[in-house]
Structure 1
């Protein structure tokens, strides 16, 4: 991306702010290599950051290298770290996959960098090892919860629920009005997991050390009442007859269309679906809102979050100060503004001072209170534990279809988890 293209992309206001920032900060010089995955948004974002940073620091040269995603990309990252051939700065997963790249040996600690003061603690927790913080957010966070159709809520005079009982009461009112209360899309089996995965904030509210005990084989879903509740909630909704008639054959694409066009009132889903709604039903984007999956206490209402990928600095970088300064720029309000202009606003940032444009979809703005001061959010279990059994989605399809109850499903999942933990070689299994 050329500087001319960047200026057109960013607009005068953002560029002016960046140039003002560069006037008060000491300019950097040197060379940086960067490795990023081949996702179109990832590439566009990193290119925009690099060009903006070079506009502020004309004596800096930055080369961006692109790697594949998925398992092939994982192997490239691990191999380059192991052989000392990693780029100075690179983007990669947070959470359990971050732990798998031996961060204490391969990464440069960023714990004491000033920019970390503005990074949310919930993100720091998924890029930390050995008492050090190693990353900065690469993108906004996602939430796991409930999309809802705003016209249906307005028509029936419903309020956003903050407890599970309130949610179920809303479902009953929607069903009585002859509408689909809860959309399920089991043709894409992964979508069956949301009632369980999105409930993890509520698990932590009652069992703050569940993730540690779960990883150490000291706590189970079937024998921990707070963890069992997610399975029970799915069973309750299924038994109440709140699903769409074709839930066994409906796809994720069907679910996105249905929630947008008012063919159903609720769709449990991750907020990345905002992009799918914008692409497939743009005229209905403003008709979709979002709220966290409620627990049993309104006072502890909060959002289970899926943390973004992170930006890291290789331990053997030849330019540690420059690399850390570039990462600090990424994790700044100016860096967030550049990303907004490059790829749009897709969710709340994990960095203080980062603002979203005024015209974000309602489902994005609905997430913000959970991240603002006084808000409540916590990472999904997969960001606090390396253990996740591969059969969860199939097990939950059985619960949703009524062929298995919540208690036996949780016990079966605990067995699935045991096999996976043993494969990982975890202690205590």
Structure 2
């Protein structure tokens, strides 16, 4: 994911800026089954980033192997406008035969049990990672399949600095702090912060959520019900860690004005050792620092205890089939969904899309030539040391988190006050959503 997509994820907004691609005509499904047995289905895609190009590449590969099925790509805006259109089309029976949309809390908002065709019995369901399955299912079954790769909120670091100073990847907060002190003593910036792009300040909190969930597996559900707060442990740790970083002098001198691109440059060139950020930054490294790409790795934001350290993962979007898709179109739609996560479909994803992390289904594998940063992430997936980001478990995210974390990370506001202020911020949003317990 690029920087714009990263901002979209962190702010839990419903999409990046839409491309100037006109909205395709609404469809009530494919063109039906022809006399010769051929079938046409429709595939609805949000016009964000390179989605259209990726979808068209997938369709071309699918049609090459299934010459009796034609897939017509339709598009609509991403963002809040797209969210509303999705709900309207499902409610009026005008949804395309297959559509590409968010997983997690936004998926749940579509009322999947009422509006989507169950895919529980499809052969690929057993190949999905448990964390992915959890964000495309309800108690009544599985409704979606991943399309795209994951990304993580983690610490991108310079491996050359680690090798030169004889450091090991930390698994606890104390080990991370000890590494930072040694890096600072060597005259190198230990932790890069880029508050000129305020959204980047949130990683200490959002990237710590995997660790919170490791200590309290019900935190996301109870948070949505108003029973968990950031002002209490274990969630307070994200704010407290950010305060400690500022007070310990780990930041770069220009942290208040530095930008995302500055952070990428600093960690790639060794001006700084660590940059807490989304791993979608790998595309920036590939484009701007190809000669340094092998010097860059990644590890989770460490928890206070090593056994609680988990990689916080942003899961990919998914493809779904509405209940209005029936008969020959339903069978063709299921075949298309299965193809997306087949070896041939995964080849398309590896070439038409830039992976920002491992895939969320075992039938898809990263190519051998991907940057080492992604291979580092794969280890945590293989070992089961991942947890989903909070936005996949709860619809609640206050709009002022980035401003609050800038204040905490700048020494303007202590961690406890920042957490309490954020609890009030999310309270307003939860009430607007009409959630019980708030």
Cα shift at 1:360:
0.7
Cα shift at 1:247:
0.2
Q: What corresponds to 2:22 in structure 1?
A: none
Q: What corresponds to 1:240 in structure 2?
A: 248
1:328 aligns with 2:338: yes
1:65 aligns with 2:70: no
1:157 aligns with 2:166: yes
Tell me which of 188, 205, 209 is aligned to 1:179.
188
Q: Deviations over 1:214-240 (max 9, x none)?
A: 1101111112x1111111111111110
- Structure 1, unmatched stretches of 5+, are 1-27
Aligned-partner Cα distance in 2 for 1:202–1:341: 33
Q: What corresponds to 1:90 in structure 2?
A: 99
Q: Which moved more, 1:245-254 or 1:44-53?
A: 44-53
Q: What corresponds to 1:145 in structure 2?
A: 154
Cα shift at 1:428:
1.4
1:368 aligns with 2:378: yes
Determine helix, strand or coil for the equivalent of 1:226: coil
Cα shift at 1:281:
2.2
Q: Deviations over 1:10-67 (max 9, x none)?
A: xxxxxxxxxxxxxxxxxx9522100112234322222122111111111111100122
Answer yes or no: is the 8 Å Cα contact 1:183–1:267 preserved in 2: yes
Matches within 5 A, 1:89-168: 89-168=98-177
Matches within 5 A, 1:171-250: 171-223=180-232, 225-250=233-258
Cα shift at 1:353:
3.1
Q: What corresponds to 2:283 in structure 1?
A: 275
Answer yes or no: is the 8 Å Cα contact 1:148–1:288 preserved in 2: yes
Answer yes or no: is the 8 Å Cα contact 2:321–2:333 preserved in 1: yes
Answer yes or no: is the 8 Å Cα contact 1:333–1:352 preserved in 2: no
Q: Deviations over 1:263-290 (max 9, x none)?
A: 1100000111111222222222222111
Tell me which of 394, 402, 419 is aligned to 2:411.
402
Q: Which runs of 4+ in 1 moved over 6 A?
A: none
Aligned-partner Cα distance in 2 for 1:343–1:424: 34
Tell me which of 285, 295, 305 is aligned to 2:303.
295
Determine helix, strand or coil for the equivalent of 2:154: strand
Determine helix, strand or coil for the equivalent of 1:398: helix
Tell me which of 56, 60, 63 is aligned to 1:47.
56
Cα shift at 1:341:
2.4
Answer yes or no: is the 8 Å Cα contact 2:268–2:289 preserved in 1: yes
Answer yes or no: is the 8 Å Cα contact 2:283–2:354 preserved in 1: no
Aligned-partner Cα distance in 1 for 2:293–2:88: 42
Q: What corresponds to 1:257 in structure 2?
A: 265
Determine helix, strand or coil for the equivalent of 1:366: helix
RMSD: 1.4
Q: Which moved more, 1:122-131 or 1:112-121?
A: 122-131
Matches within 5 A, 1:10-21: none
Answer yes or no: is the 8 Å Cα contact 1:332–1:351 preserved in 2: no
- Structure 2, unmatched stretches of 5+, are 1-36
TM-score, structure 2 length as denominator?
0.89
Q: What corresponds to 2:347 in structure 1?
A: 337
